[in-house]
Structures are given as structure tokens and as C-alpha cells.
A and B are shown apart, each in its own frame.
Chain A
């Protein structure tokens, strides 16, 4: 009597299904990513590379004005010519990546630290803490943020430090709202109650019980806030009240070269100079938005 049927229910039950590792899951997700998301990720990686290695990539110094003013494109050593006081536009574009991305990133991180912590605290504590914080945020959000930023900058003056703090504070109101709104759904869960009854403190409940469960919307929000902060800082610099010269910054580079635009009929290339920094800003915000769009689509579980 030969037993050809080796199947046994016991072994089926005993064999555990191993969960894919984080790396494997990421690879599968990346394989399914749409073209726009790939485009976005490549652009972001490129920008980060340029920002980190700006010192080695740039052919000339950030504020090195030892060249003739308004050299045309393609001049030896100056791919995109020089600006109104003889600084190499290409080098300033590269340094601009470092300054603008660095400040925007610092601002977004700060605003998430403030807004995220307060939002979590408000949702866990509830009651008066929640009421007071929410009402303060309501009032701050009733003032349009660019206008508020302009007003505060006129009082405190435009330095990189005050720029970061002011915009982070204004932006943290929005972070507070989203953190609170997703966290209140998690706070009522039994495991949070259990942690509280064990006697865990506010910090533990925030970090270990709630934060891991609200990560996806917060990560998406981080991308959106980053591109929003990036645009705000660029706009303020463009208006002349953001980063001050000689710091290379894309927003102020657009403003400084804007007058070249009127000669576009006579010299197309020089006329395009203001579009270089403006395009650099546009490209990274588009890239971030594409990636966030994909991420939101992936985590929302919508399958259409």
C-alpha cells in the first residue's frame, strides 16, 4: 500500500506564512509605481544630490563676482552666463538648491515638531487643552498665511532664522489640524486605553501607541507641506523680503534677473535666464506632488 497523497492538513496549518520583509514590500510597490511617481522620485533624488554636494559641483563661488556683468550664455566657464554684478548663474543655481531646499526642509521639520506634538497632545488630553489649542489655531488660520508672514517679517526683519521660525509657526497650524483629526480616531482605541491604564506617560502614548498608526497621512502631509513651504519661501524671496543677498536663492534670483525678460525678442537665451530658477522651483514642487499623489493613492487603498 503506497501512500501517494503526502498532503496533510496538520502540516498546512503548521507551515506559517512568512510576512514579506519591508524591503520586499517596497520593491513590489515600486514596481507598480506609475511613470509620474518615478519621474518625481528621480527628480527629488537629483535635487538632494545637488544640494548636498553643491560645494564640489559648483564651478565658481556663491558670491564670487569677479567676472564681467551680464555675460551671455555659453561663455567659456559660464554655461548660463553671469548676472547683474558678474556672478556665475550656473553656480548660483547649484548653491540655490542647497540654501532653498535646506531652509524649506528645516522649516517643515520644525513645523511638524511643533504642530505634530501639540496636535497629539490635544487629541490625547482632550478637554480644555484641546479646546484652547484648537481655538488658537482657528484664529491663526483666519489670517492668510502669506500676509501674516509679511506682517511678522516687517516687524522682526528678514533673516534666515526669523524666516524659518515664522513660517514654521504659521504652517504648524495646518499640521496641528491634520494630526489632531487623524489622531482622535486612534485615541479611542482599546490598546491606547490599555497603555494608559498601565500607567504610561503622555510621551509614550504619543510615540509608541498613536504615532505608528497615523504615519501614512502624516507622511503625505509632510510632502505637501514641504512643497507649500518651499513655494512660500520662494515667493517671499521673490518679493525681496525673504533670504537676503548675497545668499544664492532661487526666489531672489528670479527677481534679480526678471528685467532680462524684456529683451527676449532680441536674445532668446538671455531672456530665458529668469525662467531657470523659476523652473527649478516648479520642477521640484511638481515632483513632490507627483510622489505624494502616488503615495496617497497607494495608502488610501483605492483600487480603480
Chain B
């Protein structure tokens, strides 16, 4: 008995379909909102942890900052400026309120025992550095992400071939190298044969291509470090799926290997791949500290290392908060990409 649809029934079906789609969108939206809320809560607790850092300093750090010769009045004024005469929760609220308006306080350096205050606002120190770090991160990401996806997909396609084995061994090796080892080997090659600039001392007014030219070596180092991780994850995520029955079905239908991987395996693998890409993008902002120091690149990482060495807590706090926020934001984005591209959520039964 064949079923026939009359013209009058069609709109109802369409309405039902639209209703179902609305429900799906609703479901996805709900999950995303939940993740966003979770991200905000995490950020709150992280800010609490970072704020508490200053509480652990030994009681009389005013003297350590201002010098032995500081008068009592200067130390008292300094403590008042930091708000140490107020309860901790009050200080936290003030700090968060100031941070929300972009004011991270003033640096400890540049203060003298005589009470002369030549310190600079933390934001003024961080802003140009952050721009440089983001510049390096974005030119690296533009090369590294497509390259890693390409290597990962081709390695999964020709798995257990010589190509796969070579790429695998090479990436396992480069994952385990410390960044400064990779960096110094590149510097060595560059000094001997390539003639690339080994000092990435870029400045504000520099033309774009000169900046790129100077940042070639640091960005190459970072590329080598992150491609390995992303490529291995892409390969593993795809190969993991190849054992599932629906892939076997596609293969038994006689579809080509490339089509099986690109059309059938890849859509289900996007979530883990997005996670690892986000993790590595976060690394590009957060983990560049060592590479920046090797190449004397004026980024946030180097600023933070200098601040740690001189125990300039407000600057350390500011940098840590920016890094943590970037990290949480990128992981959140990966989560959302994972939800949005999840075929099980998009086509519920």
C-alpha cells in the first residue's frame, strides 16, 4: 500500500520540519549558553586565584619594593595605595572593577624610597606587547593550522605507509624537543646557511613585511612545535572513527578512500580536532614565553618573565589574567565548535 501525499498535507510536513529545526536550534543554543555560563564562572574563580597571589607576599614587602631607606610615611602611603588597609573582599571588588575598565594598577618598578613615583600603569606596558604577541601568533597560525590538517588527513589516508611512519616518527620527536632546542638549531642553520635575521626586535613603526621577515624564525619555531601536536590529534581522531560500522558501510558501498575520509569520517572528527587547534592557538599566545626570550621578541611573555625576575606583582597579575582569559576563551570556542559541528546534535532521531 503506497502512501500518497495530497497537496493539502504538504504545508503540515513543512511546518513539522521547521518546528523540529527550531527545537534543534534551541537545544544547541541551550548547550552553548550553559558553556558560556561555565566559562564566566571559571573566569571568576581564576581571577580570585590570581588576585590571591599578592596576599601570599611576606608582610613587609613595601620595604622590599621601595628599598631599605624608605621612610615609614612612604611605606604607609604605598600600602594605602594598594589598599592593604581595607578588607580583602573590598580590595578584590575594587581590583575587578578596575580591571573591567582596563586598569590593571601601576607597576612596582620605578618607585623610589624617597616617595618619587615614576611607575607606569600596567596597561600601558602590556598593550603594545600584546599586539606583538598576537601578530606573531596569527602569522604562525595561518601557516601551521592548514599544514597540520593536511598532514593529519593524508597520514590517516595512507596509514601504516612509509609516509605515515616517517611523519609519525618526526612529529613524535619534535613534540619531545624543548622549544629552545628547536629555536637554537634554527638559529644555527640560519647563521651558517640561510641568513635569516636571528634577532626579532620588531618595533611599532616598522612596515608590515619587514615585521614578517624579522619574525620568520620565531614563527618557524612555533610552527614546528605545534604542527606535530595538531597533526597527531587529527590523524588519531580520524583513525579512531575508521573502525565504526558506518565507515565500513561506506567502504562496502564502494566509495573511494578519500571520499570516505573527507565526507564520512571528518564531520565526526571535527570536535576533537577543534579542541586541539584551540589548545594550540592558546599555546601560541600563552606558551610563547620561551621562544620570545630566545629571539628577544618584544611580546607579553618576555614582559612577564622580566616582571617575575624583578617580582613586579601587578604586572605579573595583569599578564597572568590576560593569558588565563585567552586560554579560557579559546577553549570555550572549541567547545562551541564541537557542539555546533556535532552531527548527532544537528540531526537528532
**Interface residues of A, Cβ cutoff 8 Å to B:** 36, 138-140, 142-144, 146-148, 150-157, 227, 231, 234-235, 238-241, 254, 258, 261-262, 264-265, 271-272, 274-275, 278-279, 281-282, 285-286, 288-290, 293, 304
Contacts and interface: CB of A to CB of B under 8 A. Distances in A.
A294 B246 CA distance: 30
B286 interface: yes
B33 interface: no
A158 to B, nearest CB: 9
A289 B178 CA distance: 13
B130 interface: no
Given A142-B42, A144-B323, A286-B176, A241 B192 contact: no
B224 interface: no
B160 to A, nearest CB: 7
B177 A261 contact: no
A143 B324 contact: yes
Contacts of A275: 181, 184-185, 188
A36 B316 CA distance: 42
A150 B324 CA distance: 13
A23 to B, nearest CB: 30
B173 interface: yes
B178 A154 contact: no
A151 B316 contact: yes
B49 A143 contact: yes
Interface stretch (B116-124, B256-264, B300-308): B300-308
Contact of A139 (B42, B175, B308, B319): B42
A154 B49 CA distance: 14
Given A150-B304, A254-B184, A144 B178 contact: no
Contacts of A148: 320
Interface in B55-71: 56-57
Contacts of A254: 180, 184
Interface in B1-55: 42-43, 45-46, 49-50, 53-54
Contact of A151 (B43, B173, B289, B308): B308
Contacts of B319: 147
Contacts of A142: 42-43, 45-46, 324, 327-328, 331
Interface string B229-242: 00000000000000
A150 B309 CA distance: 9
B184 A144 contact: no
Given A151-B316, A155-B313, A261 B175 contact: no
A147 B312 CA distance: 14
A274 B184 contact: yes
Contacts of A293: 172
Contacts of A152: 53
Nearest to A272: B188
Contacts of B49: 139-140, 143
B272 interface: no
B45 to A, nearest CB: 4
B287 interface: yes
Contact of A144 (B188, B191, B311, B324): B324
A186 B48 CA distance: 36
B147 interface: no
A260 to B, nearest CB: 10
Contacts of B57: 155
Given A139-B46, A153-B308, 18 more contacts: A36-B169, A138-B42, A142-B43, A143-B46, A143-B323, A143-B324, A147-B320, A151-B317, A238-B293, A239-B289, A254-B184, A265-B191, A278-B181, A281-B178, A285-B176, A285-B177, A286-B177, A288-B176
B290 interface: yes
B172 A144 contact: no
Given A239-B290, A261-B184, A261-B187, A147 B323 contact: yes
B197 to A, nearest CB: 12
A264 B286 contact: no
Given A143-B320, A155-B57, A278-B178, A239 B293 contact: yes
B273 interface: no
Given A278-B181, A288-B176, A146 B308 contact: no
A151 B191 contact: no
A238 B176 contact: no
A227 B176 contact: yes
B278 interface: no
Nearest to A280: B181
B282 interface: yes
A261 B186 CA distance: 11
9 contacts: A139-B42, A142-B42, A142-B331, A150-B308, A227-B176, A239-B289, A261-B198, A264-B191, A286-B172
B170 to A, nearest CB: 11
A266 B327 CA distance: 43
Contacts of A285: 176-178
A281 B320 contact: no
A241 B305 contact: yes
B313 A304 contact: no
